[in-house]
Structure 1
Amino acid sequence: MAEVNVLPSRLTVEAASSHLPMWTDWGVRDVGHFVHSLGCTFLTAIGRDHGFTAVCEVPAPRDGPFAHVEEDVRSDSVWFDRTTKRVALVAEFERYAGKQKDLSPKVETLLLAQHRWACENSTLLLAYWSVGLVTLPDHGTLRSIARDGFSATGGVRVPGNPKARLIFYQFVVRAGQDGLLRLENIIRRGEA
């Protein structure tokens, strides 16, 4: 059985360079969702490298008590354990420019996906990318969403998961003299 605990040793700039040299060496333009696509591809590739069945852009099932909370709950990357066939990790990859409001909905999506997949022991990963180092988000507030829950659209209460394991990573990109963005660092920012 594959272990999600490999993340610190796998989420590295070297691994990103191996999978996606355009992100680390060649450089990319900051247009549309290109960096987002690179991040989702990378997270999925790391899952596959470590023996998971990993998929990008995965809609959570519309079953159970949260089937009608929000419309489409789509995760950026989901890792399935090959032995148990259960979700081991649910990931979101989001741009972060120093505004907490950009990340809170992503933690809500992670928690709701965890409920819909009925995988309360799965790891939740919030990876956010920034151009250079920016003021860090309040990780404590983000953790509280996963642990305490939130009110969804329409006032439906989505309960928290006190057992939720939420991991944070920051992907730091920098613009070169050519104006292209390159991944410079991947920093583990904590775990709840």
Structure 2
Amino acid sequence: MNDAIRQTAQAIDDEFRSLEFARQAFPMLIDWGVEDFSITVHSLGCNYLSALGRELGFWAISEYPVRVPREGAAHSVRPDVAWWARKSGELALLGEFERFVPRMPGKLAEKARNLLQAHHTLGEQPRILLLVGWALAGTDIGSLDEVRAVVHNGFRPPDAPAVPALGQDSVFILAIAVFGDVKNKRRLLRMQL
């Protein structure tokens, strides 16, 4: 892993432990709370992660489609966020922000598969794959071993070539954004790493 990836991973870790930037730039997420309607929390989470990328010195956007190989058809996955290094223009991070639903535990593993497939499709340069699941405080997240296994072991899609594991030069960060329910509004309380 190169120094730039290591430093960026540390900066993300620092932010997730302190939520300093979130407090400064996203009071609706931390202080005011938002209605859990449609994709409101998802939109704010994606915007927070994109803004964090810009705060850390990257070019960053939300919703970045990546064409991935499938037999007989064009297919794409769309990571929620992408960050590019300003100097080199290299893609430094692909990320997802996804609601954890207890009755659908495979959803986070599906997002990990999308990230891994996008990473390999775009070329195996060192980068960070960031997966943030979000849930209400008190939700039993259970084991996230299935999610980690996707990234560490790779997988085989039914209609495409096998997708290898994440290389040693890249980093997988898995975090859970824990939200409180205050007067029917969702407020980010903490990030679990």
Q: TM-score range by the shorter chain?
A: 0.7 to 0.9
Q: Secondary structure at the match of 1:158?
A: coil
Kindly provide the CA deviation profile for residues 105-126 of structure 1, in whole angstroms up to 9, marking residues without a partner as x: 0000110110121134211111
Q: Which of the residues 58, 64, 67 maps onto 1:58? A: 64
* 8 Å contact kept, 2:115–2:129: yes
Identity among equivalent pairs (%): 30
CA deviation after TM superposition for structure 1 residue 174, in Å: 1.1
Does residue 172 in structure 1 map to residue 178 in structure 2? yes
Normalising by structure 1, report the TM-score: 0.86
Give structure 1 regions of 4+ aligned residues with deviation exceeding 3 angstroms: 66-70
With over 3 angstroms needed to count, the CA separation of the structure-2 counterparts of 1:140 and 1:120, relative to structure 1, is farther
Partner of 1:108: 113
Kindly provide the CA deviation profile for residues 142-186 of structure 1, in whole angstroms up to 9, marking residues without a partner as x: 22211222122425422223424211111111111x211111112
CA deviation after TM superposition for structure 1 residue 137, in Å: 4.3
CA deviation after TM superposition for structure 1 residue 94, in Å: 0.4
Q: Secondary structure at the match of 1:152?
A: coil
RMSD (CA atoms) = 2.0
Any gaps of 5 or more consecutive residues in structure 1? none
Give the residue type in structure 1 aligned to 2:151. Answer: A
Normalising by structure 2, report the TM-score: 0.85
Partner of 1:88: 92
Any gaps of 5 or more consecutive residues in structure 2? none
**Greater CA drift, 142-151 or 35-44:** 142-151
Q: Secondary structure at the match of 2:163?
A: strand
Kindly provide the CA deviation profile for residues 49-91 of structure 1, in whole angstroms up to 9, marking residues without a partner as x: 010111110112x3xxx43377121111111111221111111
Does residue 118 in structure 1 map to residue 123 in structure 2? yes
With over 3 angstroms needed to count, the CA separation of the structure-2 counterparts of 1:182 and 1:97, relative to structure 1, is same
With over 3 angstroms needed to count, the CA separation of the structure-2 counterparts of 1:121 and 1:133, relative to structure 1, is farther
